[in-house]
Amino acid sequence: MLLSSQLFKDSFGTEDMRAVFADRRLIERYIEVEVALARAEARIGVIPASAAAAIADTARFDVLDMERLKRDTENVGYPILPLVEQLSQACGQDGGYLHWGATTQDIMDTAVILQLRDAFGLIERGLDTLRASLAKLAKQHRDTPMAGRTHLQHALPITFGFKAAIWLSMLDRHAARLKELRPRLLVGEFAGAAGTLASLGDKGLDVQAALMRELDLGIPAIAWHSARDNLVEAVQWLGLLTGSLGKMAQDIMLMMSTELGEAFEPFAQGRGASSTMPQKRNPISCEVISAAAKAVRQHCALMLDAMVQDFERATGPWQAEWIAIPESFVLSAGALEQANSAIGGLDVDSRRMARNLGMTQGLITAEAVMMALAPHTGRQAAHDIVYSACRTANTTGGHLADILAGDQRVSSHLDANRIKHLLDPGNYLGQAPQMVDRLLQQRC
């Protein structure tokens, strides 16, 4: 109900993506395949050209009785037989050539591929927008220092541009994967009852090739009625995409926490508000992304399970795809829309980032002192000396610079000014800015 709910459907999906998988569009795709098949068969000489022309002129959604189609589909278990019956009646005598040599799954599988072509076009546009926003953030904040965190604790200084560039790198790889995936996915299915095209004799492969040219799809090397890795790969790609969006959302949600306050979803009057706490600014887009990503991951598992199909045509796993594919695409489109909203207007508080860098009074750059001391004492001894100083700082609340300067084992090698310089987070960003540059340059 969520994806069709008047309350929630536009939070967890988009109108454009829902339209791709709506009943009308799906049935129109079925009809498109049937008409293309008639044209292909006429071109090869399997059916009369006049019949193909009549089918093309008559077979359309508006001639259907949808209540009858619904009732008959529930009875038969599949929509193609009742659809062909209605279209054949509408086409009169020429309708006898409709669905010639095809089987139900040929039409449905090919229609799904046409749907996915449209769906991935929508996803790609949203992905390109998000990547552009992240590239802008990475460049803008190339040198904006902030605390890097491991195990939810301060680790070493990084820059916010570095973080944004890491997010971007994931999405760039997904874009590359999508480009690689398309030729494998956009291949139609037309193989007949058991996949051998037996009903068309020696014209089968010619008809198959002509049909795929009509639809601008790849020609299958062999039937894939029960070899579903292509569709599984498509949904797994969505799992990768939404997994990355979920990681970004997780980071932003944590950065929005009161204790950090380093970045926020864009402000809109009333968005993220609490019914009782006026101060709240909750991470709404990120919460939706996180939930959608979890749901898509479940569908990834369902699709993997549905790969295990019996013999040449499956008894059940095929229907599981009818659930997983549309919902995965709608949820992914919704998550991508929310991500574009959050990233496109992300409110970055660089002053708070700087303040958080200093909250541990030098501890975040303890490694810098250790590495500077190591040539004099050996690395392990330097580690133990600085480790002890860090424990003292934690216990007493003092600044690490003062504690280190008061330790003769350190001060005999590093003076106070040197220690202070080493503990400045801005001096220990490593190659983070340069890595941002490299990523952005490689994308050009």
> DSSP characters for 279-325?
T----HHHHHHHHHHHHHHHHHHHHHHHT---TTS-SSHHHHHHHHH
Q: Of how many residues is the chain composed?
A: 444
pLDDT by 10s per residue, the chain, length 444:
778 778 777 777 899 999 999 999 999 999 999 999 999 999 999 999 999 999 999 999 999 999 999 999 999 999 999 999 999 999 999 999 999 999 999 999 999 999 999 999 999 999 999 999 999 999 999 999 999 999 999 999 999 999 999 999 999 999 999 999 999 999 999 999 999 999 999 999 999 999 999 999 999 999 999 999 999 999 999 999 999 999 999 999 999 999 999 999 887 776 665 667 666 678 889 999 999 999 999 999 999 999 999 888 888 888 999 999 999 999 999 999 999 999 999 999 999 999 999 999 999 999 998 999 999 999 999 899 989 988 999 999 899 999 989 989 989 999 999 999 999 999 999 999 999 999 999 986
Contact between 88 and 61 (Cβ < 8 Å) = no
Matching fold, domains 2-354 and 360-432: no
Contact between 317 and 304 (Cβ < 8 Å) = no
Q: Is the dihedral of CA 63, 67, 73, 75 positive or negative?
A: negative
d(CA 54, CA 262): 65
> According to CATH, what is the number of the domain 360-432?
1.10.40.30
d(CA 246, CA 339): 9
> DSSP characters for 45-88?
TSS-HHHHHHHHHH-SGGG--HHHHHHHHHHHSSSHHHHHHHHH
274 is catalytic: yes
Q: Helix, strand, or coil here: 208?
A: helix
Contact between 248 and 339 (Cβ < 8 Å) = yes
383 is catalytic: no
Catalytic hit among 4, 50, 274, 388: 274
Residue closest to 289 by CA, chosen among 248, 254, 323 = 248
Mention the CATH class of domain 2-354.
mainly alpha
Q: Which helix (H) or strand (E) holds 264?
A: strand 263-264
Domains of the chain, by residue range, sit at 2-354, 360-432
Q: How far is CA 432 from CA 141, 148, 160, 252, in A?
A: 11, 11, 10, 20
- The tokens of 12 are what? 């967890």
Q: Helix, strand, or coil here: 197?
A: coil
- The tokens of 30 are what? 């079925």
> What would the 3-class secondary structure string for 83-141 be?
HHHHHHHHHHHHHHHCCCCCCHHHHHHHHHHHHHHHHHHHHHHHHHHHHHHHHHHHHHC
